Amino acid sequence: MSARSKPRTRTSSRAISVWLIALLVAVVATIQIRSQAEVERSFAGTDTASLAFLIDNLHRANDSLQAETADLTQQEAKLQSGGDSAADQVLTDEANHLRAAEGLVPVHGPGVVLVVSANGLVALDLQDALNNLGIGSAEAIAVNDRRFVVGVPIEQTQAGVTVGGYLVPAPWTISAIGDANRLAQAADLMTQSLRGDRRVRQATYRVEADVVIRAVVSDRPFVYGVAS
Asked if residue 58 binds another protein (CB under 8 A), the reply is: yes
Asked if residue 38 binds another protein (CB under 8 A), the reply is: no
Sheet architecture: strand order including 154-157 = 154-157, 160-163, 166-167
Asked if residue 145 binds another protein (CB under 8 A), the reply is: no
Q: Which of 173, 102, 182 is nearest to 140 (CA)?
A: 102
Asked if residue 105 binds another protein (CB under 8 A), the reply is: yes
- Alpha-carbon distance of 205 to 108, in angstroms, equals 18
Give yes or no for a contact between 112 and 183, defined as CB atoms under 8 angstroms apart: yes
Hey, which residues between 181 and 210 contact another protein (CB under 8 A)? Answer: none
Asked if residue 214 binds another protein (CB under 8 A), the reply is: yes
Asked if residue 3 binds another protein (CB under 8 A), the reply is: no
Q: Which residue number, 103 or 170, has a Cβ lying nearer to another protein?
A: 103
Asked if residue 91 binds another protein (CB under 8 A), the reply is: yes
Parallel, antiparallel, or unpaired: how do β-strands 200-213 and 107-118 relate? antiparallel
214 CB-side CA count, 13 A: 2
State the minimum distance, in angstroms, from the CB of residue 202 to another protein. 25
Asked if residue 99 binds another protein (CB under 8 A), the reply is: yes
- The one-character DSSP state at 169 is P
Q: Contacting another protein (CB under 8 A), which of 11, 12, 33, 189?
A: 33
